[in-house]
């Protein structure tokens, strides 16, 4: 039997890249997934890929930083599937600059998407998780629920040009450790996966040749210069960047019953690279 049968998972930023791989991984093991993306088309593509493979998924489209998003996201899970078992806070992007050139807009945008949005989603989910835990205590059918927050090795060791991103991802680890202590009484485990170099559209395009994404009216340069990418990969003991599917595997470890007694931890998923 699939380990996640009957469980409902919410995954932000799951229309593309790592988030899509996470959604597909959880669905393949039986979870019903609420897929989120800023844009409808990629969200619906992920939903279609899951349903075509025999799984269950629905979409909640919108920006995680919107004021009404947390309640809509949580409400979609409750209204469609009856509750929440897994929350993966994955959505995000980078907007890099050295600190003396970084604007307040850059700082605020990255802190909002990587730290404030997950905080607000988890705050919105708390009444649902608390009520479920109370009901289950009364009936004697205790169920372990899971939160997996996505951080980065930039958050554990810093990274030049990423003061905003590194600060946000370090904050995510602090948020995780605090909620692990607050939510243990609800039988909810809260853990972090900190990714190293994972090959996605944000790393494959090269900023030097005009790689960029359009995001909420902003044009954000993305990508890693090929020579720098090669240097980075040589520093990784496994000799390469990871795939979105491998990143999803690390998240999956915190979602299955075998990790029910692990909470407040940060798992480095970086091919052996340590900062």
What is the rounded average pLDDT of the residues 239-254? 97
Report the mean per-residue pLDDT for the chain.
94
Across the beta sheet with 86-89, the strand order is: 56-59, 32-35, 8-11, 86-89, 145-152, 188-195, 266-269
The confidence score (pLDDT) of residue 135 equals 96
| pTM exceeding 0.85 | yes
pLDDT digits (tens, 9 = 90+) for 165-198: 999 999 999 999 999 999 999 999 999 999 999 9
In a domain, 222, yes or no: no
212-240 as b/e: b if 16+ CB within 10 A:
eeebeeeebbbbbeeeebeebbeebeeee
User: How many domains is the chain partitioned into structurally?
Assistant: 1
Q: In this predicted structure, what is the pLDDT of residue 225?
A: 65
Torsion sign, CA atoms 39, 41, 43, 46? negative
Assess whether 165 carries a catalytic annotation. yes
Kindly state whether residue 82 falls inside one of the protein's structural domains: yes
Mean pLDDT, residues 131-138 taken together = 96
User: Is 160 within the bounds of a domain?
Assistant: yes
* In a domain? residue 212: no
What CATH number did the domain enclosing 125 receive? 3.40.50.720
Q: What is the pLDDT of residue 220?
A: 74
pLDDT at 144: 98
Q: Which residue has the higher pLDDT, 261 or 275?
A: 261
pLDDT digits 0-9 by tens, 35-79: 999 999 999 999 999 999 999 999 999 999 999 999 999 999 999
The verdict on residue 221 lying in a domain is no
pLDDT tens column, 256-265 = 999 999 999 9
User: Residue 211 pLDDT more than 80?
Assistant: no
Catalytic residue among 81, 93, 165, 186: 165
Residue 251 inside a domain? The answer is yes
pLDDT above 50 (res 122): yes
On whether residue 181 sits in a domain, the answer given is yes
Residue 229 maps to a domain: no
From CA 201, how far away is CA 37, in angstroms rounded? 15
Name the E strands within the chain: 8-11, 32-35, 56-59, 86-89, 145-152, 188-195, 212-215, 218-221, 266-269
**Domain membership of residue 83 as a residue range:** 8-197+243-269
Confidence at residue 209, expressed as pLDDT on a 0 to 100 scale: 46
């Amino acid at each position: 039997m699939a380990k996640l049968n009957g469980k409902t998972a919410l995954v932000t930023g799951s229309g593309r890249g790592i988030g899509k791989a996470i959604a597909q991984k959880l669905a393949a093991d039986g979870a019903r997934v609420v897929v989120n993306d800023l844009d409808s088309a990629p969200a619906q593509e992920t939903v279609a890929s899951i349903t075509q493979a025999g799984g269950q998924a629905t979409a909640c489209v919108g920006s995680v930083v919107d004021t009404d998003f947390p309640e809509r996201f949580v409400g979609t899970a409750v209204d469609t599937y009856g509750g929440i078992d897994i929350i993966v806070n994955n959505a995000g992007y980078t907007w890099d600059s050295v600190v003396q050139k970084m604007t307040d807009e850059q700082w605020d945008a990255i802190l909002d998407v990587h730290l404030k949005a997950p905080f607000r989603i988890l705050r919105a989910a708390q009444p649902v998780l608390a009520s479920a835990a109370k009901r289950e205590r009364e009936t004697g059918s205790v169920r372990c629920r899971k939160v997996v927050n996505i951080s980065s090795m930039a958050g554990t060791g810093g990274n030049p040009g990423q003061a905003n991103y590194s600060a946000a991802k370090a904050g995510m680890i602090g948020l995780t450790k605090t909620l692990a202590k607050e939510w243990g009484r609800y039988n909810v485990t809260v853990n972090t996966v900190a990714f190293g170099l994972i090959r996605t559209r944000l790393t494959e395009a090269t900023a030097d040749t005009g790689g960029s994404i359009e995001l909420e009216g902003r044009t954000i340069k993305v990508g890693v210069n090929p020579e720098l990418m090669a240097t980075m990969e040589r520093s990784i003991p496994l000799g390469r960047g990871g795939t979105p599917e491998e990143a999803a595997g690390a998240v999956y470890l915190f979602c299955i019953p075998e990790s029910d007694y692990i909470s407040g931890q940060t798992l480095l998923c970086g091919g052996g690279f340590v900062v």
